[in-house]
A = this chain, B = another copy of it.
């Protein structure tokens, strides 16, 4: 019988790490766990705190290093908030956009891409070649709307 149950999100991260010759450390897997179970965007220090709750003493630098690496690998995505400040959310390498509740910072996936079929001719006329895009929707989730 299996010795240990792991989420598909953790397996996914392990696989990506292995492909790149990087190690699946307890700290890295804890970051994945914390992010994918939280349902909301977490700041670096929130992630640090939760990883410490799981593993005990953990260096903050490790959290920074892990998040930067995960962002490059497409495992997590960095979201920015209107007032300034940012947080991370798990995205598992998919091209997803997110709705962020401005009250609770809850993150909701938004898999259809609003600009997928958009006609860029007006900007391409200026010679600009579009290569990527960043989209975030802001609003209020049900819970926060009811609480208000």
Which A residues are closer than 8 A to B by beta carbons? 68, 78, 80, 82, 84, 86, 99, 101-102, 108, 110, 112, 114-115, 118, 120, 122-123, 126-142, 145
Contacts and interface: CB of A to CB of B under 8 A. Distances in A.
B140 A131 contact: yes
**Count of this chain's copies in the oligomeric assembly:** 2
Residue from A130, A139, A142, A145 with most neighbouring chain B CB atoms (10 Å): A139
Contacts of A82: 132, 134
Given A115-B114, A126-B142, A133 B136 contact: yes
B80 A134 contact: yes
A142 to B, nearest CB: 3
A141 to B, nearest CB: 5
